[in-house]
Structure 1
Amino acid sequence: MVSPLPRVLLLSGRELEEVLSPGVLIDEVEKAFITFSEGRTVTPPRTVMWVEGNWWGVMQSYVPGYGVGVKVVNVIPANLERGLPTIQAVVNLFDPVTGSPLAVMDGGVLTALRTGAASAISAKYMAPKERGPLAIIGTGYQARYQLRFVAHVYRTDEVRIYDIRESAAESFKGYAESLGFRVVRCRSAAEAIEGARVVIEATTTRTPVVEGKYLSRPTHVISIGAHMRDARALDDDAIALAETVVVDSREAVMLETGDIRIPVERGVLAMDRVSELGEVASGKRMGRLTDEGITIFKSVGLAIQDAAAAAVAYREALRRGVGRYVDL
């Protein structure tokens, strides 16, 4: 007789918020990036399909010390009009030795949390020493996590925001003010960017919204949007001005966004100038060269982040007695 599967822990988005604070998650995701750049993870290319004109992906990774994570995720921009998240996902965590399922959790919240952690790691190593305003272009679901996590490592009082949707900008303004930030709503991306010391792009754009001519020195640009092969959030001028360009994965950014691929193909950017975040975190490559430079971090998101974040969530949930078990 076949033995039944072990009980599986279910974690809701609210419970993930409870157990995965910036102080807990940033350091753990940083370790996962280092492990990835050292070639010690098992991370196959994601499987992608298009359903009803929308992107769906299956991402999987084994990260030593954390476990095996598998995520099914979709990106549906029209959900903005439906009052639903544009990114929805479910993450499964497995024991790498026994193969047993350990946990199932809200992948949308987990994705936002681990993406915020990656941006914070980039700011830790690449943001200027000089303090100043933080600009956020795109104030949807991801932006709240970007603000919380990046502000954990780059302290600022002023947040400038721009979104083409009035309601989204106003809602985010209230959220940021509730955290104690002074918020300035801007009339354009250019107005938000000029004079900012950290710029976060978190949009669903297909054309550049961060233009080099508006960037002030010093600044650090974080781009988490434009997740299609021909889509761009950063123009050629922004790329050309950067003293360092750092990505989560060289291979992934060349396949999954135009922000790096197109400048490389045009000769604007040489790949030997592109570093991985894990290389920067381990000290093998520099994230910032000068006090006055412009730096760029481009992220498309990796399965290693999901696996590590899911494992940390599972560990913290067990420690705190959070979540509920189900028998499969």
Structure 2
Amino acid sequence: MLSKSDLADVAIAPAEVIAAVEAAYLGHAADPSGNPRKLNITAGPSISYAMLGQTNGFVGFKTSYTNNGTGEKLYYTTLGLYDEESGLPVALMDCGRIGALRTPAASAILARELAPPDTKTVLVVGTGAQGRAALPFLLTTLPQVERIMLFGSHPEGIAAVKGELRQHHPDREIEVLDDLGRACEADVVLAVAGPGTPAQIRAEQIREGALAVLVGYGVAPDVLWSADRLVATSAEQMALTGQDFAHPGTGLRLPDAELPEILAGRAQGRTGSRQRIFAYNSGMVVTDVAVGAILARAAIAQGRGKEVELWS
């Protein structure tokens, strides 16, 4: 059993997470059966998900529960990890940090594949958990970036984003924006804000050739509607979780390509330097399993967690 505190400070470099997530995507491209569609149950203000995935010698079963009806958001998520060959359980672990690592890794891979070739400026919208993790991952896949802009409404969140970046890139500085009027200067916009954000970048604020990556909130639906190309980590997952970006007249747009297919060389991402591209980053459980396996191995090797005999 590996708790949230057991996993909180297990050291893992962004490059290692990116490599694990990319390998999981390539495995999915080779055999999509390892990541079946998630199940969901909605009851009043709560929604629960169950996801099963297999990759790189492990099978994972992930659950999550969210409730927004109490005035304070409640969110719980776990990952059960099993050895693929023996079927024996390896760990039951809190999945919070796993999601906080695999999501910015996926965004960084999307940016590497889809950003304009002369990318110099990035804008991160949001300073929550995903906003804090975003920049070390983005700079791993886009080391040529010279200018970093940040929009957030919470001073403590802004300070946390700066602190996280300082740990990995002590020489880099962040420009904090008071408003989003300068969003048009960004080559890459990463929208990772929470549902209560005042940020709402509109289509006319996305410059020609730019990439907008959606993880949470921070861009308006018309950014997707007007994009020259739409790329998703998973079209199936986008159909389930992306309905708030459906056009009132034509419904939810189908992606032009999926990231695993791009990585496998079977689909194209960017096909022109002047294209505005919208990327929809939805979670795929195979990436949770891949990152969870790394964290579990490291934590167990360090003697963390509590060993449980299930069948003694």
Q: What whole-Å deviation, never above 9, does each CA across 1:172-209 have from its counterpart, x for those lacking one?
A: 34444554332122122343x22111111012338982
| Structure 1 counterpart of 2:191 | 201
User: 1:10–1:103: 8 Å Cα contact kept in structure 2?
Assistant: yes
Query: Amino acid of the residue matched to residue 31 of structure 1?
Result: A
Distance 1:139 1:75, change over 3 A: farther
Q: Contact 1:69–1:92 at 8 Å: present in 2 too?
A: yes
In the superposition, the TM-score normalised over structure 2's length comes to 0.84
- The 3-state SS of whatever aligns with 2:85 is coil
Q: C-alpha displacement at 1:106, in angstroms?
A: 2.8
Equivalent residues of 1:173, 1:185 under 8 A apart: no
Of the three residues 13, 17, 20, the one matched with 1:21 is 13
| Maintained 8 Å contact 2:112/2:142 | yes
Identity, % of aligned positions: 21
Q: Does 1:10 align with 2:2?
A: yes
What is the DSSP-based 3-state SS (H/G/I as helix, E as strand, rest coil) of the residue aligned with 2:272? Answer: coil
Q: What residue number does 2:249 align with? A: 266
Within 1, Cα distance between the matches of 2:293 and 2:176?
Answer: 38
Q: What letter matches 2:269 in structure 1? A: G
Give unpaired runs (5+ residues) of structure 1: 1-8, 227-231
Deviations 1:44-73 (A, max 9, x none): 33233346724332222122x231112222
Shift of 1:314: 3.2
Contact 1:222 1:296 in 2 (8 A): yes
Aligned to 1:103: 91
The aligned runs of 1:31-180 (5 Å cut-off) are: 31-50=23-42, 53-63=45-55, 65-75=56-66, 87-155=75-143, 156-177=145-166, 179-180=169-170
Distance 2:156 2:44 in 1: 27
User: What SS does the corresponding residue of 1:91 show, helix, strand or coil?
Assistant: strand
Pick which of 209-218 and 159-168 moved more: 159-168
Q: Partners of 1:26 and 1:291 in 2: how far apart?
A: 25
Structure 1 residue 218: deviation in Å?
2.7
> How many angstroms does 1:116 deviate by?
1.1
Unaligned runs of 5+ residues in structure 2 are none
Letter in 2 for 1:235: P
| Aligned counterparts of 1:13 and 1:127: Cα–Cα separation in 2 | 36
C-alpha spacing 1:258/1:269, structure 2 compared with 1 (3 Å)? closer
> 1:32, CA displacement in angstroms?
1.3
Q: CA deviation at 1:315?
A: 4.0
Give how far 1:40 is off: 3.7
- Report if the CA contact (8 A) 2:123-2:188 is conserved: yes
Q: Distance in 2 between matches of 1:249 and 1:49?
A: 20
Contact kept? 1:137, 1:161, Cα under 8 Å: yes
Alpha-carbon distance between aligned partners in 2 of 1:26 and 1:32, rounded to the nearest angstrom: 10
CA shift for structure 1 position 303: 1.1
Quote the offset at 1:123 in angstroms: 1.2
SS in 1 for 2:138: helix
Q: TM-score, normalised by structure 1?
A: 0.80
Q: After TM superposition, list the pairs within 5 Å mapping 1:178-257 onto structure 2.
A: 179-180=169-170, 181-191=172-182, 193-205=183-195, 209-225=200-216, 233-236=219-222, 238-257=223-242
Equivalences, count: 305
Distance 1:268 1:100, change over 3 A: closer
